[in-house]
A and B are shown apart, each in its own frame.
Chain A
């Protein structure tokens, strides 16, 4: 089902949670609402679910306005952050509950429940209670309960935030496979950029209740719409260097000797004289001669297949992500070139996403 949000605004008392959101999720697409805590992504999801009413604007499912359709009538399957499995019911009763609410006969209910349990690999757990299950198992049950009624839309609210890293990857791949198999329109909320990048068709990046960019993960990474997007995606985060951009020439005030005027910079918006140059750590390369930049190594972090270097020159710091084929020492002075440079107009807000914020409700 096609979900369309038309100029949605949500105001809670005196805070604006969501501001003039306008986007469409196409049929069968998996879209991720990504953003830092408190950016309004969960509120947006609640409004799609019908648990919250928008203050302004209208939501359409397949062109049908949803303003007067209650959550219980919207035909949506939803997985909540803490699963919200009914503790007084067995796993089977939990899964069959949406069918019971549709007055489906018991035999048929059991049949459907078994089917979906098999798909989610929880057949052995049907007669247990949620309290007797691990986090991963509860998650699977929650997904089964959301999918059993074969809804047209699946919503997931931070579905993996309570799971350990290994399980997270396993489950997210499972969900992606399932979603592609069922071709169900899916919207899911996360603050984890890696999660968003790895499984969504499109990402909607939000900050402070506003859309920053809505595009495929690749496009978002390669052509960030603004400095916030550039800073939010990527780990380690992009290097942002204030500079002057004049007649196609780029200079950094503190580092006169740096000369990295790019042949074809990736421009984001109207870049004036005051600009910010963005260089992804993996776009930096060490060269023996020439080089656009030079900087001293101040810290080394090895991560197995790659190495992160912290570099400094005249109060400018850079992070470089390099191959593991050189012996770098702290204090070395390196010559570097940048394969690709993004240019942003100065004065934009940037987001250095450092992960680990999951306190959103």
Chain B
């Protein structure tokens, strides 16, 4: 009798040829992406284990309990949240501003576009070294510029109070090019007829911006707010390079990713690092879900208002 695959099998793997073609990509994806994610998630729950031989003796929530107690972890969360709350909205606003300026047919548009896009194509490590030099207290560019205006030297890199503001500026600057490009694409997708119509409806430049540009860019703004928040949450390399392998003066630049890095590479506490990474994952997930929920809520509210008015 001939072998007949069950309907389930056929449904799931009926196009086995397709799976064959997908296999190379899937194998790489699974080995280097899926497996590590699952493994690191599980690792957070290891209490006793042999790292080298991958033998686990005990499971539990101990590491999560430790994190809840760890002052450093609290500081990392506080710093990261500060960065996100300040840098993400500012970053989006500034990018939108520059995109609108670039879109208004100014001269040397191509030059400006390249300048804004430069940080995006440059290695963050190289960029951080340049910034570290510019911000140097004694022979940095910024202080020497300030000096010509008669402002005394600022210890940008050694004053703990300056660390987060510096990181905010850096974070805005490094993402500017990417966000400007995305916004420009969004702006160019808006039909010029809407602007013509708005002008004849009596809308000045500001009204056109708020009543045509912003509403039409809503999907772009949403996309960027999600990706920007995630980006800022993952701040690490600029801290690592600029503060010469330290999380800033007095740990003032300690971010969650920096904390995870320290746990893993400095203290060799793999399980704690995994637990912290899992917490970071949960935070990012919940913020992203919140953003989606907010959009959904706004839409629901709008629809309800509409339905309500229709009943009148």
The answer to whether A82 touches B202, judged by C-beta atoms less than 8 angstroms apart, is no
Cβ contacts under 8 Å, B306 to chain A: 90, 127
Q: How far is the CB of B299 from chain A (nearest CB, A)?
A: 11
Cβ contacts under 8 Å, A87 to chain B: 216
B42 at the interface (CB under 8 A from A): no
Cβ contacts under 8 Å, B212 to chain A: 86
> How many residues of chain A are within 8 Å of chain B by beta carbon?
30
Cβ contacts under 8 Å, A92 to chain B: 309
Identify which of A82, A101, A126, A149 gathers the most chain B CB atoms within 10 Å of its CB: A101
The answer to whether B215 touches A77, judged by C-beta atoms less than 8 angstroms apart, is no
The answer to whether A101 touches B201, judged by C-beta atoms less than 8 angstroms apart, is yes
The answer to whether A86 touches B196, judged by C-beta atoms less than 8 angstroms apart, is no
B211 at the interface (CB under 8 A from A): yes
- Known contacts A88-B218, A90-B306, A127-B309; A71/B200 CB under 8 A: yes
- Known contacts A72-B204, A127-B309; A80/B193 CB under 8 A: yes
Cβ contacts under 8 Å, A98 to chain B: 201-202
B194-241 with Cβ < 8 A to chain A: 194, 196-204, 207, 211-212, 215-216, 218
The answer to whether A72 touches B202, judged by C-beta atoms less than 8 angstroms apart, is yes
Cβ contacts under 8 Å, B198 to chain A: 86, 97
Q: How far is the CB of B209 from chain A (nearest CB, A)?
A: 13
B54 at the interface (CB under 8 A from A): no
| Chain A residue with Cβ nearest B196 | A51
The answer to whether B211 touches A97, judged by C-beta atoms less than 8 angstroms apart, is yes
Q: Give the distance in Å from the alpha carbon of A89 to the alpha carbon of B302 in the complex.
A: 11
A67 at the interface (CB under 8 A from B): no
Q: Give the distance in Å from the alpha carbon of A61 to the alpha carbon of B58 in the complex.
A: 88
The answer to whether A84 touches B193, judged by C-beta atoms less than 8 angstroms apart, is yes
Cβ contacts under 8 Å, A127 to chain B: 306-307, 309-310
| Chain B residue with Cβ nearest A103 | B202
| Chain B residue with Cβ nearest A148 | B201
Q: What are 15 A-to-B residue pairs whose CB atoms are below 8 Å?
A: A49-B196, A49-B200, A51-B196, A51-B199, A78-B196, A80-B193, A80-B197, A84-B191, A84-B196, A85-B197, A86-B198, A88-B215, A89-B215, A101-B207, A127-B309
Chain A residues proximal to chain B, CB less than 8 Å: 49-51, 70-74, 76-78, 80, 82, 84-90, 92, 97-98, 101-102, 126-127, 145-146, 149
Given contacts A86-B194, A97-B198, 14 further A-B contacts (CB under 8 A): A49-B200, A51-B200, A80-B196, A84-B197, A87-B216, A88-B215, A88-B218, A97-B203, A98-B202, A101-B207, A126-B310, A127-B309, A127-B310, A145-B201
